[in-house]
């Protein structure tokens, strides 16, 4: 058996051809592929606008800039996430306040969020950054209700969840990133994610003002749109209106993303099929806690996280057998950088307990049944012995 990693990209001949075609064309960047990818992605998640960028972290930073996060602004973030979800606030000088997770869904806990908000005067916080952890879509409608009553914005970090949806209180299907509840939704196209562009990211929104700001900050804060210029100096004139960045994606990456997007749904189907097989195999033992999936949602399973008593033992045992499981995540508030900023071990007990036991088993669309059977076999033989 060759080594099996926890995630892996899937590149087809069609993907390769799409990239090669762009390499032979007139534009390597700032060409037509980006517009095509943005329109297709916006349609895929049901949003009005989509802005493609060079990675998911840049997508988060642009979102914080578009919402005008400033020095001292307090923003609530889940501790169960990749560092970038919180770092984007620090880039703008804001302060991160962590809100613990729900022990079953692993998402930012709505009751704990309400409790946190009610202990401070209104106006203390500016926004919330929940994460669709592992591909489990947040109840964005409930988050919106809370956000509205406290005047907060929402950046939804959906890097794990393109293609997910939940049913709202009227029973209507709400795709993650459709812009109905969250002000901005962020995606990543890193190779372990659902679709890849190598490095890449996207922000979706339904708000025309936020959309304009994303475009401006993506390209140095410079515009050449005649209707937005403050001065007229001639055809060459481009105007820098804000301090922006170069967060553009290239055309050959956008072409890869567009090609990958065509297979996004079949990738999710395969992931869900693999989950059924994992869950049914592990239902034979009470030594493995498998993920929950409530009614009325479509979980798209970026990760398959189990919990076991001896996580370190299982992790090492699997490595000995060429199975490279991973841990998602070390709780962010316990990282030295965030400890130095006033957080303490013990602040978020639910995620800290979760972290002692969690392990993400290999999951990606090209994982074969045979490879999965091998993984299942090794996991069961380890927990059987312990
Ligand atoms: C991958 C990821 C990011 C960052 O995306 P990059 O494209 O790697 O910059 C942010 N948040 C979450 C939850 C992620 O999984």
Q: Torsion angle, CA of 268/61/28/191, rounded to 10 degrees?
A: -30
Query: Is residue 239 within 8 Å of 223, Cβ to Cβ?
Result: yes
| Tens of each residue's pLDDT in the chain, 386 residues | 799 999 999 999 999 999 999 999 999 999 999 999 999 999 999 999 999 999 999 999 999 999 999 999 999 999 999 999 999 999 999 999 999 999 999 999 999 999 999 999 999 999 999 999 999 999 999 999 999 999 999 999 999 999 999 999 999 999 999 999 999 999 999 999 999 999 999 999 999 999 999 999 999 999 999 999 999 999 999 999 999 999 999 999 999 999 999 999 999 999 999 999 999 999 999 999 999 999 999 999 999 999 999 999 999 999 999 999 999 999 999 999 999 999 999 999 999 999 999 999 999 999 999 999 999 999 999 999 76
Beta pairing, strands 125-129 & 358-361: unpaired
pTM of the model: 0.98
Residues with CB under 6 A from ligand 1: 55-57, 81-82, 84-85, 131, 157, 159-160, 188, 190, 201
Residue of 190, 191, 192 to mutate, ligand 1, most atoms within 8 A of C-beta: 190
Q: DSSP letters along 166-203, please?
A: EE-TTS-EEETTSSSS-SEEEEE--TTSSS--SS-EEE
Tokens of 375: 């993984």
Ligand 1 centroid to Cα of residue 363, in Å, is 17
Ligand 1 centroid to Cα of residue 190, in Å, is 7
Task: Tell the burial category of 348 from Cβ atoms under 10 Å away from its Cβ (0-12, 13-18, 19+).
Answer: buried
- The b-or-e profile of 81-113 (16+ CB within 10 A means b, else e) is bbebbbbbbbebebbbbbbbbbeebbbbbbebb
In degrees, to the nearest 5, what angle opens at C-alpha 371 toward C-alphas 200 and 357? 70
Ligand 1 centroid to Cα of residue 57, in Å, is 6
Instruction: Please give the backbone phi and psi of residue 59, each rounded to the nearest 5 degrees, phi first.
Output: -60, -40
Q: DSSP letters along 283-321, please?
A: TT-SS-BPPP--TTEE---S-EEEE-S-HHHHHHHHHHT
Residues 6+ apart with CB under 8 A from 215: 51
Q: DSSP letters along 64-95, please?
A: HHHTT--TT-EEEE-SSS-THHHHHHHHTT-E
Q: Kindly list the structural domains of the chain, giving each domain's residue range(s) and its CATH number in brackets, ordered by start.
A: 4-261 (3.40.640.10), 265-385 (3.90.1150.10)
**Rounded-to-5 percentages of helix, strand, coil across the chain:** 40, 15, 45
């Amino acid at each position: 058996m060759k080594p099996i990693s926890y995630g892996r990209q899937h590149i087809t001949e069609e993907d390769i051809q799409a990239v090669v075609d762009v390499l032979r064309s007139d534009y390597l960047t700032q060409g037509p592929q980006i517009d095509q990818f943005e329109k297709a992605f916006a349609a895929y998640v049901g949003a009005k606008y989509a802005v493609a960028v060079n990675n998911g972290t840049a997508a988060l930073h642009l979102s914080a800039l578009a919402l005008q996060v400033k020095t001292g602004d307090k923003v609530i973030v889940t501790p169960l996430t990749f560092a970038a979800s919180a770092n984007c606030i620090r880039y703008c000088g804001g302060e991160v306040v962590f809100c613990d997770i729900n022990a079953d869904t692993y998402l930012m806990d709505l009751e704990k969020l309400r409790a946190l908000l009610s202990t401070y005067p209104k106006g203390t916080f500016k926004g919330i950054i929940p994460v669709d952890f592992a591909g489990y879509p947040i109840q964005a409608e409930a988050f919106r209700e809370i956000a509205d009553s406290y005047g907060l914005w929402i950046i939804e970090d959906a890097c794990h969840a393109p293609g997910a949806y939940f049913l709202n209180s009227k029973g209507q299907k709400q795709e993650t990133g459709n812009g109905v509840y969250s002000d901005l939704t962020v995606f990543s196209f890193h190779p372990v994610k659902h679709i890849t562009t190598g490095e890449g990211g996207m922000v979706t929104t339904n708000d025309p003002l936020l959309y304009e700001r994303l475009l401006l900050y993506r390209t140095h804060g410079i515009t050449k749109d005649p209707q937005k210029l403050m001065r007229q100096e001639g055809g060459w004139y481009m105007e820098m209106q804000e301090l922006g960045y170069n967060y553009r994606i290239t055309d050959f990456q956008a072409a890869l993303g567009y090609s990958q997007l065509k297979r996004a749904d079949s990738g999710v189907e395969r992931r869900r099929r693999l989950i059924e097989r994992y869950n049914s195999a592990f239902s034979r033992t009470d030594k493995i806690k498998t993920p929950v999936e409530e009614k009325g949602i479509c979980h798209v399973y970026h990760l398959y996280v189990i919990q076991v008593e001896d996580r370190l033992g299982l992790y090492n045992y699997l490595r000995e057998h060429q199975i490279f499981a991973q841990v998602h995540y070390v709780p962010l508030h316990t990282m030295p950088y965030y400890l130095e900023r006033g957080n303490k071990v013990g602040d978020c007990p639910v995620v800290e307990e979760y972290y002692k036991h969690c392990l993400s088993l290999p999951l990606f669309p090209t994982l074969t049944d045979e490879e999965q059977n091998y993984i299942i076999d090794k996991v069961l033989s380890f927990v059987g012995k312990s």
